[in-house]
Structure 1
Amino acid sequence: MIDNLKLRWRQYLAASLASYGSLCTGMSMGWTSPVLPQLRGPNSPLLKEPTLQEESWIGSLLVLGGLFGPLITVPLSKYIGRRWLIIGSNIPLLLGWLLAGVASNLETLYAARLFWGCATGMQFATIPIYIGEIAEDKIRGSLSALFLLFINVGFLLAYAIGPFTSYWGLTAAGGILSLFYVPFTWFIPESPFFLVLKGRSEEASEVLQKLRGTSKEAVLPELEGLQAMVAREFKEEPCIKDLWATKGNVKALGICVFLAMLLQLSGIDVLLFYMEELLVKVGSTMSASMGTIIMGVVQVVTSCVTPLVVDRLGRKLLMWTTSLGLTIFLTLIGVYALLDSYYKIDVTSVTFIPLLCLIIYMILFTLGVGPVPWILVAEMFPPKTKCLASGICSFMCWLAGFIWTRFFRDVAASYGIYTAFWILAVCCGIGFVFSATLLPETKGKTFDEIQDMLNKRESRQEVKPVDV
């Protein structure tokens, strides 16, 4: 019992310290919700009020910046390791807060958002892999869910601080919190897998002993397993062709790319970036700032539950049930907005519906559609292709997010906010069908067992390349 407590405590601490940066990027992502109304007010740092198009660029450029993250992490990951990439992601993060703090024109704000996006993209492409490599199979899902928990804490901080302080107060708070990122991440160990890959097996053994809270002899079987995996998988340098070298790799890439894009096409960034504005548009009578704080609290509380259920209920069940729920409640919001804004029907007796639906949306997203794609990215690929595959999934996720955050407000302005919500509902409906029919279950399986499942009856020694 004591050994189990040590194991869990040490691994949860390492995963939490690595995920702290996502709290800072969560603040930068939620920053737009309280800040955009301030940019239109008398205390704006800008010399003139931004237009609707310019505000859309402020929101969407962070997601565009996320495209650069994988382009940085994938080439460097095999040379400097996960730990230094996690530490290094704080450089564009701090630059973003600095630029936002001194901004007096849109160009500087645009640059700040791009830097924040780059940091976020680096973290999304690196931290889930790092956590997957330091965790034991039984708690891998729980540890991976911490990444989303810290992001949601960051959103809550932005929502809670923003309405009660100035533009500069919120920006300074984000910058100060980001300053702690380097000292916190300095104490995380390097991934044992990376150390074995670089021939530093003695260091890998020491790291495993610390993470598992046990002796050198006790971690020897795990170390030997890593050494055998590296010897088997890395006979040659990884290359892009490895992604379709087996049927399992092709299947894993298709699943993870689709789910990573679904994460964005469910509308999460739109809702989080423009939360205050959307609560006003869909007709909620509660003040926008109070509504966003409630939403942030719901996210954080649900994120605390996610690690407890993701390894109990499994990835597949969480994905299809939550995507089905998102479909239903996004449709309801669209119907409410149609009746209120288009048909001008008196809905004062049910004004609680938009906020209630958005709260349930956040609960469902945080339980399934949000964390599961990144857990699967860390689980479904063999070590040789994991970094490259993670970079591709992250890139596609941010590409989908940029397109949708950039044009969501245009769709809402041209065709009604209800149409925009129905488009989100259709995307989630497609995700439900996909998850219920094509998504395999990886709960509790080792990496080798997952590969055997993806490749069906093919053994690892007899896997044949796919004709392309």
Structure 2
Amino acid sequence: MTAKTRSHWKEYGTAFCATLITATAGTCYGWPSPTLPYLKSKESDIKTSADEASWIVSIMILCSALTPIPSAYFADRFGRKTCLLLGAIPFIIGWVLVIVAKSVAVLYVARMFSGLGYGIVYTVAPMYTGEIATNEVRGALSTLITLMNKVGILAQYCIGPFVSMRTLAAINLILPISFVITFIFVPESPYYYLKFERSERAERSLRHLRSGDIRLELKNIEVSVQEDMKNKGTWSDLIREATNRKALWITLGVFTIQQLCGSAAVVAYAQDIFSVTGSKIEDYKESIILGCVQVATCCLSVVLVDRLGRKPLLVLSSLGVGLMNGTIGTYFYFYAQNKEDVAHLHWLPITAILIYIVCYAIGLSTVPYVIIGEMFPTNVKLYASCVAHIYTGISMFTVQKLFQVVKDAWGIYTVFWGFSIFSLLGLMFMLIVLPETKGKSFACIQAQLRRDVAKDNARKLITVEY
């Protein structure tokens, strides 16, 4: 085994320990799917209405928008590793509250704590994995964040239908505790140490992550950090600096498409959606199939993101989810008009949803977290990450909450047609605006953004003169 291969294995091992916390986030994200049918049933010891169920789903994501700013400050001041370790505490509290819950109000509070942890994790984890990785595997390591999230969701689909709500919560409690025990022993980001001129600690961290001679890479990282830190980054730099402004516009655009294609609603309401498809397969089995397909496709994305590139995967993903959303919406429309007319097509919804999941998982699910780790210089990366995740949290909450409202008011087919329109609009955005960053260093990406900004300014000047 070569030194380069050993280094890559070390990077994957460290990233795996770090992303155990995103698997915990996945358990929180997927938990409502097998749990809501029970809570809304007559057998439930916590009587829950449809409106209360929609709040149980969405309040977690709403609260996730509260923690990016404080976690950004904390990660910048005390380190990415410390912040991620503290991020496990809200998850632990959340699952303990579910175990002891006797009312819907306690479930709300439990989901709020889970949301606080969710916001911390998705602000800091992309930065940590992006900073410990070499250029060759940075994309693959960043996609591990989403892969582990999908593993957590799959665990809910597989275990939830067969155990009680409280037993499922007790099982889920194992993950954040395991994360704390393992992550204590991994190194801090060398970028963080060099930002505070702690060269010896940065060298020890890099030696832990690499095999062979690290002197050249350490020097390159040091130069990159010094270049980024010449001017101390501030919140206003995200808007004032033209390259940061363009990167933020691109990043928020990608995350908008990720949410408005409907993924948050499909995952959280999976069993409810399958219950109205007319399929002959039991709802929970369809959810398990969906979860398995998510995980398998995310594994494929880990392999493809550093081979095919970011842009091709996102374009293919947007096209696929747009077409499948349209197909699902059309089926539900005819099913609502006269279910007998489409009885022979009972296989279509599950097939279309599975293709949707494949298309979503291969690009929109994973690549946005790669992009946010690559598009910004070190001095403003945390600020950009927290802005993106506040925005994403609000968008995801809106999608999850309005799914039930629109479904009840205008039919489930209207929801999926809306998702289809937004997905196809996103396809055009990807083709026109998104740059390719595959295999490029952070410095090269920044140089490309500066060239793009210069071209944009030149076009504006020509337009004004004309």
- How much does 1:246 deviate? 2.8
Number of matched pairs: 456
- Counterpart code for 2:36: L
Equivalence for 2:204: 206
Equivalence for 1:4: 4
Equivalence for 1:34: 34
- How much does 1:2 deviate? 1.8
- How much does 1:295 deviate? 0.5
Would you say the 8 A contact 1:452–1:458 is kept in 2? no
Please show how residues 443-458 of structure 1 align to structure 2 within 5 Å. Answer: 443-456=438-451
- In structure 1, how many angstroms separate the alpha carbons of the residues matched to 2:69 and 2:304? 33
Would you say the 8 A contact 1:377–1:390 is kept in 2? yes
* 1:388 lines up with 2:383 in the alignment: yes
Equivalence for 2:418: 423
Equivalence for 2:133: 135
Would you say the 8 A contact 1:159–1:289 is kept in 2? yes
- In structure 1, how many angstroms separate the alpha carbons of the residues matched to 2:237 and 2:175? 40
- Counterpart code for 1:17: C
Equivalence for 2:224: 229
- How much does 1:345 deviate? 4.5
Deviations 1:40-67 (A, max 9, x none): 2354241xx2111111100101111110
- In structure 2, how many angstroms separate the alpha carbons of the residues matched to 1:125 and 1:9? 25
- How much does 1:282 deviate? 2.9
**Which of the residues 428, 433, 438 maps onto 1:438?**
433
Would you say the 8 A contact 1:282–1:333 is kept in 2? no
Equivalence for 2:67: 69
Please show how residues 13-24 of structure 1 align to structure 2 within 5 Å. Answer: 13-24=13-24
Please show how residues 403-414 of structure 1 align to structure 2 within 5 Å. Answer: 403-414=398-409
**Which of the residues 182, 206, 209 maps onto 2:180?**
182
Equivalence for 2:363: 368
- Counterpart code for 2:306: D
* 1:265 lines up with 2:260 in the alignment: yes
Equivalence for 1:466: none
Structure 1 residue matching 2:44: 3-state secondary structure: coil
Deviations 1:366-396 (A, max 9, x none): 1101111110000000111100001001111
- How much does 1:75 deviate? 1.5
- How much does 1:446 deviate? 0.6
Would you say the 8 A contact 2:332–2:412 is kept in 1? yes
Would you say the 8 A contact 2:238–2:384 is kept in 1? yes
Equivalence for 2:144: 146
**Which of the residues 158, 161, 169 maps onto 1:160?**
158
- How much does 1:330 deviate? 0.5
- In structure 1, how many angstroms separate the alpha carbons of the residues matched to 2:364 and 2:444? 24
Equivalence for 1:250: 245
- In structure 1, how many angstroms separate the alpha carbons of the residues matched to 2:168 and 2:364? 29
- In structure 2, how many angstroms separate the alpha carbons of the residues matched to 1:443 and 1:272? 29
- How much does 1:176 deviate? 2.2
**Which of the residues 56, 59, 76 maps onto 1:58?**
56
Would you say the 8 A contact 2:406–2:412 is kept in 1? yes
- How much does 1:77 deviate? 1.6
- How much does 1:283 deviate? 2.7
- Counterpart code for 2:9: W
- In structure 1, how many angstroms separate the alpha carbons of the residues matched to 2:141 and 2:380? 22
- Counterpart code for 1:181: F
Structure 2 residue matching 1:177: 3-state secondary structure: helix
- In structure 2, how many angstroms separate the alpha carbons of the residues matched to 1:407 and 1:433? 25
- Counterpart code for 2:282: S
Percent of paired sites with the same residue: 33
Would you say the 8 A contact 2:90–2:116 is kept in 1? yes
- In structure 1, how many angstroms separate the alpha carbons of the residues matched to 2:219 and 2:364? 35
Equivalence for 2:396: 401
**Which of the residues 80, 83, 97 maps onto 2:81?**
83
- In structure 2, how many angstroms separate the alpha carbons of the residues matched to 1:246 and 1:61? 34
Would you say the 8 A contact 1:45–1:103 is kept in 2? no
Rate the CA distance shift 1:24–1:457 in 2: closer, same or farther, 3 A: closer
* 1:347 lines up with 2:342 in the alignment: yes
- Counterpart code for 1:224: K
- How much does 1:458 deviate? 8.2
- How much does 1:269 deviate? 1.2
Rate the CA distance shift 1:205–1:353 in 2: closer, same or farther, 3 A: same
Would you say the 8 A contact 2:279–2:347 is kept in 1? yes
- In structure 1, how many angstroms separate the alpha carbons of the residues matched to 2:226 and 2:30? 44
- In structure 2, how many angstroms separate the alpha carbons of the residues matched to 1:235 and 1:270? 43
Would you say the 8 A contact 2:224–2:443 is kept in 1? no
Structure 1 residue matching 2:79: 3-state secondary structure: helix
Structure 1 residue matching 2:281: 3-state secondary structure: coil
Would you say the 8 A contact 1:319–1:435 is kept in 2? yes
- In structure 1, how many angstroms separate the alpha carbons of the residues matched to 2:398 and 2:428? 23
Equivalence for 2:25: 25
TM-score by length of 1: 0.95
Equivalence for 1:291: 286
Structure 1 residue matching 2:306: 3-state secondary structure: helix
- In structure 2, how many angstroms separate the alpha carbons of the residues matched to 1:123 and 1:18? 10
Segments of 4+ moved more than 6 angstroms = none
- In structure 2, how many angstroms separate the alpha carbons of the residues matched to 1:329 and 1:458? 35
- How much does 1:115 deviate? 0.9
Would you say the 8 A contact 1:339–1:345 is kept in 2? no
Structure 2 residue matching 1:281: 3-state secondary structure: coil
Which one is further off, 278-287 or 322-331? 278-287
- How much does 1:227 deviate? 2.0
Rate the CA distance shift 1:378–1:210 in 2: closer, same or farther, 3 A: same
**Which of the residues 106, 109, 113 maps onto 2:107?**
109
Structure 1 residue matching 2:92: 3-state secondary structure: helix
- How much does 1:223 deviate? 1.6
- Counterpart code for 2:359: L
- How much does 1:142 deviate? 0.6
- Counterpart code for 2:439: G
Deviations 1:107-126 (A, max 9, x none): 11001111111111111111
Would you say the 8 A contact 1:15–1:143 is kept in 2? yes
TM-score by length of 2: 0.95
Structure 1 residue matching 2:272: 3-state secondary structure: helix
